[in-house]
């Protein structure tokens, strides 16, 4: 997907918007039947959370896939036994946030020193890969933002540090991504926004995004 294709997709979606406190919640319905939900900070304009509604042919039900923000629900429900399964608190856990200037990933529960990690960028795939010399951890991180604007990341532009058992990776937003984000925000200025409790979209996002 290219910059122009993503903007065309956003512009072609049916959109509804609501404000709750300092968070603006936007719901998109695309012509192909997929849906996207986003939360924006009204103070910074940064996206706080993004989720996609996907249909599972196997389970015959709709699921929400979290792209940005804390996973919801935090536990995986086992419908057969009636209880929830959750990853152990000691397992490595990847989270992502977007600021005005950077995209940042934090991988918690990684106690190894900084010299243990090798981090590479796959430009054509728009991914970042983390591996350890002790072979205890491997993760290929997709970067949808780069895929949408057609940007190939470079390893020399990564900022990496390790503290409190957490590996922190940051990438300064390229100019083309900043421009694309501004174009999307400009498009959203044309979407009528009401108070949270007054539209059905608000109820949907309240249940699915927090």
Q: Tell me: the pLDDT tens digits for 25-74?
A: 999 999 988 999 999 999 999 999 999 997 666 545 557 888 998 765 44
CA 19 to chain centre: 20
165 vs 196, more confident: 165
Phi-psi region of 182 (alpha: psi -120 to 50; beta: other; left: phi over 0): alpha
Q: What is the pLDDT of residue 56?
A: 61
Q: Which long-range contacts (CB under 8 A, 24 or more apart) does 159-163 make?
A: 159/102, 160/114, 160/117, 160/119, 161/114, 162/110, 162/112, 162/113, 162/114, 162/117
CATH architecture assignment, domain 3-77+90-196:
Sandwich (2.60)
pTM: 0.81
Distant-in-sequence, close-in-space partners of 90: CB < 8 Å, separation ≥ 6: 109
Q: What is the pLDDT of residues 117-140, one digit of tens each?
A: 999 999 899 999 999 999 999 999
Structure-block tokens of residue 193 = 């926004």
């Amino acid at each position: 997907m290219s910059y122009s294709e993503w903007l065309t997709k956003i512009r072609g979606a049916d959109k509804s918007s609501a404000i709750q406190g300092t968070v603006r919640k936007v719901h998109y319905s695309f012509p192909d039947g997929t849906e996207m939900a986003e939360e924006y900070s009204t103070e910074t304009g940064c996206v706080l959370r993004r989720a996609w509604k996907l249909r599972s042919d196997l389970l015959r039900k709709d699921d929400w896939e979290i792209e940005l923000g804390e996973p919801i629900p935090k536990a995986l429900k086992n419908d057969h036994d009636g209880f929830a399964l959750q990853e152990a608190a000691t397992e490595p856990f990847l989270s992502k946030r977007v600021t005005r200037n950077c995209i940042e990933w934090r991988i918690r529960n990684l106690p190894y020193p900084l010299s243990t990690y090798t981090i590479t960028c796959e430009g054509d795939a728009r991914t970042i890969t983390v591996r350890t010399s002790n072979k205890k951890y491997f993760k290929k991180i997709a970067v949808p933002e780069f895929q949408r604007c057609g940007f190939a990341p470079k390893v020399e532009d990564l900022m990496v540090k390790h503290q409190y058992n957490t590996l922190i990776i940051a990438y300064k937003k390229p100019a083309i991504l900043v421009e694309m984000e501004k174009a999307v925000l400009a498009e959203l200025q044309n979407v009528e926004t009401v108070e949270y409790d007054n539209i059905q979209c608000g109820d949907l996002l309240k249940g699915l995004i927090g």
